Amino acid sequence: MKFSVKAQLVCCALLSSWVSAPMAQEPAACQAVRFADIGWADITSTTAIASVILDGLGYKPTSTLVSVPISFAGLKSRQIDVSLGYWWPIQEKAIAPFLEAKTIHLMEPANLTGAKATLAVPAYVYQAGLRSFADIAKHRTELDGKIYGIEPGSSANAAIQKMIATNQFGLGGFKLVESSEAGMLVTVDRAIRDKKWVLFLGWEPHPMNLQIDMKYLSGSDNAFGPNDGEARVYTLTSQGYAGRCPNVGKLLANLKFTTQIENHMMQSVMKRQKPTDAARAYLKSNPQVLDAWLAGVKTYDGGDGLPAVRRQLGL
């Protein structure tokens, strides 16, 4: 069968168009990315950031609000693809069976370093001499013998109560005042307004680090874990997820947050702003973070990831 020159040119043009058109880089099942949101403001914030980016790449992210144990079970059963919220060391014992059985994959390195949870004081108290755990007992009178914690049953409160019960750092006789997070922060704000001394449980990331001129105490001797309450946050996926969906896996590996990013995001979320709206606003104000996060990442249909997300954000 012979073709006319015109027909051959048309065929070549169609073939060239087909070859140059972006092709989906992953199976269709990868387009829907299912996140676990464990309900903590920092994880809600980072999940919203990841979701906005994935949306700009042409994926269809969803998040489900679940408890930590349910998130682990969902990852194991592959009903959930990703969780950005494994806090080490606080969740270490709970996740150990899943990691040992290789039913959940832990991505390294951590998506957040520099987190912490330990005792803190207002900056003026720190400057006056209360700078370490060894200094607390010397200032019992100024502190009214009280340490302000959060809700009953929390692991942080348990650490404080243990120090009191064992007279560690001379804290025997101190009283742990348990309250909600909000209630504790109201007490701290009132003390700062009146320039009184107050010793309280602080942690980062949290908006308190932006709203309060505060300092963390040193020398806790592992009372709150290694390195004075150091914590790290890791990304978890269902087993083999990055192999099945390598482009999303590349983005997840690139996502590295800072306490400052999360402090600011959490502040918006805790003021009842819709998390994805807060994420878009943050990314539009800080577009430079996208460069590293989207390095080597494509859109779902195989295009360049960074310009696609920037267009979606109106940058």
DSSP string covering 57-101: TT-EEEEEE--HHHHHHHHHHTS--EEEEEEETTTHHHHHHHHHT
Please report where in the chains the tokens 């109201």 appear, as a residue: 186
Domain with CATH 3.40.190.100 in the chain: 115-230
d(CA 259, CA 112): 7
C-alpha distance from residue 19 to each of 8, 22, 23, 53, 66 (Å): 16, 8, 9, 27, 43
Q: CATH topology for 28-112+232-313?
A: D-Maltodextrin-Binding Protein; domain 2 (3.40.190)
Q: At what angle do helices 305-313 and 275-285 cross, to 10 degrees?
A: 110
What does the pLDDT read at residue 89? Answer: 87
Over 70: is that where the pLDDT of 128 sits? yes
What does the pLDDT read at residue 182? Answer: 87
What does the pLDDT read at residue 24? Answer: 57
User: pLDDT (tens digit, 9 = 90+) per residue, 201-255?
Assistant: 999 999 999 999 999 999 997 888 888 889 999 999 999 999 999 999 999 999 9
What is the residue-averaged pLDDT of the chain? 91
Q: How far apart are the first and last CA of the chain?
A: 53
Radius of gyration of the chain (CA): 25
What is the arithmetic mean of pLDDT over 55-72? 96
Q: CATH topology for 115-230?
A: D-Maltodextrin-Binding Protein; domain 2 (3.40.190)
Domain with CATH 3.40.190.10 in the chain: 28-112+232-313
What does the pLDDT read at residue 136? Answer: 98
The predicted model scores a pTM of 0.82
What is the arithmetic mean of pLDDT over 264-268? 93
